Amino acid sequence: APITAPDITSICKDASAGISNQAEAVRTRKCCPPALGKTIKDFVFPTDKTVRMRWPAHKGTKEQVDKYRAAIQAMRALPDDHPHSFASQAKIHCAYCNGGYTQVDSGTGFPNIDIQIHNSWLFFPFHRWYLYFYERILGKLINDPTFALPFWKWDEPAGMPIPDMFVPETVDGKPNPLYDVYRDADHINERIVDLDYDGKDKNVSDQTQKLCNLSTVYRDLVRNGGDTISFFGGKYVAGDSPVDNSDPSVGSVESGSHTAVHRWVGDKNQPNNEDMGNFYSAGYDPVFYIHHTNVDRMWKLWKDLGIAGHVEPTDSDWLNASYVFYDENEELVRVYNKDCVSLDKLKFNYIENSKEVFPWRKSRP
């Protein structure tokens, strides 16, 4: 049977998994969303007239950047117990990843087994849904039904530095809502991300790092991601215990460039590599969402390569796995993997460079 998230407002525990220094945790370990006691509705596809076009963060126009800052600022201004608040959005990640929920509603019920949406085939669909609602909430906060998220385009050399708008602590004398104090200062200053970061700095030239990164993208999308399970990750169904990142069945992008960027951005001097270096705290860094928007785009690019074998899972345990989120109207909605496969239906897409969509295509390592 598929993994089925419980009513998130009534069944939730404090996070613990993966936090080794619980006493020193710099973010709250209470990952439960506000409990409004609402009933869970079924998801309906959006009826928007326009498609939200997600844009490369390093190429944002002043208007795009200002709007994005204003939306994140509005989110930060909400009280923490609002389901759309910055903290509530961050806690979603913690709850689904650090043991907030059990599989009580999955199959015949497994109240002693936690839900962990990482390290398995739930990774891509869960994060796609997470960002879907996050984007619509931000748009609603600034009254812009066309609002679209930026993505950190680390698969193209010009996009490999951490995007400018995330770096300064203040903008025009006011706190920058895209800044986060818990980042690796050395990495942020040196700027070019290492998509194969394993905890040790390589100390190579920027040019070499860029070429390495292109090879890493090729590795994750082509060489190691040749079929459904190697790209999406191993089967994970009701009754299965969570697996960790060392498991060989973790999908190619998830275990590769995705995790490397988390570790590279997180502060190695914090007890749990906060914020980006731990599931429980990652959602508190605005960089998390631009990183995952690009990870989501990798799913689309992988499919667009048109290589035989590059198809989504068709197993009913994948199609019918489900999660519960607050939507932009503060309603609780249950969503299924099968409904997130078509970007057309979800009314968002990605702006691509028409000349060179796959700059790493020839970067066979």
Residues forming the active site:
93, 118, 127, 258, 262, 279, 292
Contact residues: ligand C2O, CB under 6 A: 93, 97, 118, 127, 258, 262, 282, 292
Least spacing, CB of residue 205 vs ligand C2O, in Å: 28
d(CA 160, CA 206): 10
Sign of CA dihedral 56, 62, 63, 69: positive
> Residue 84 annotated as binding?
no
d(CA 196, CA 218): 12
| Closer to ligand C2O by Cβ: residue 192 or 298 | 298
d(CA 269, CA 192): 20
SS3 state at 95:
helix
d(CA 302, CA 231): 9
Reduced 3-state DSSP string for 64-124 = HHHHHHHHHHHHHHCCCCCCCCHHHHHHHHHHHHCCCCEECCCCCCEEEEECCCCCCCCHH
Least spacing, CB of residue 295 vs ligand C2O, in Å: 7
Least spacing, CB of residue 322 vs ligand C2O, in Å: 17
| Closer to ligand C2O by Cβ: residue 282 or 290 | 282
> Residue 118 annotated as binding?
yes
> Residue 93 annotated as binding?
yes
d(CA 258, CA 290): 12
Least spacing, CB of residue 96 vs ligand C2O, in Å: 8
| Closer to ligand C2O by Cβ: residue 90 or 97 | 97
Adjacent-strand bridge partners of 52 = 348
Q: What are the Cα distances from residue 364, in Å, to 153, 208, 217, 219, 302?
A: 19, 15, 9, 7, 15
Closest to 309 in 3D by CA, of 194, 243, 238, 221:
221
| Closer to ligand C2O by Cβ: residue 74 or 160 | 160
Least spacing, CB of residue 93 vs ligand C2O, in Å: 5
Least spacing, CB of residue 250 vs ligand C2O, in Å: 12
- Relative orientation angle of helices 123-141 and 62-77, to the nearest 10 degrees: 90
Q: Are the beta carbons of 202 and 195 closer than 8 angstroms?
A: no
| Closer to ligand C2O by Cβ: residue 118 or 310 | 118
* Residue with tokens 């009580």, as numbered in its chain: 104
> Residue 292 annotated as binding?
yes
| Closer to ligand C2O by Cβ: residue 27 or 262 | 262
Q: What are the Cα distances from residue 123, in Å, to 35, 245, 247, 262, 337?
A: 25, 12, 14, 15, 10
Number of other CB atoms surrounding residue 269 within 10 Å: 10
Annotated binding site for Cu cation: 93, 118, 127, 258, 262, 292
Residues annotated in a binding site: 93, 118, 127, 258, 262, 292
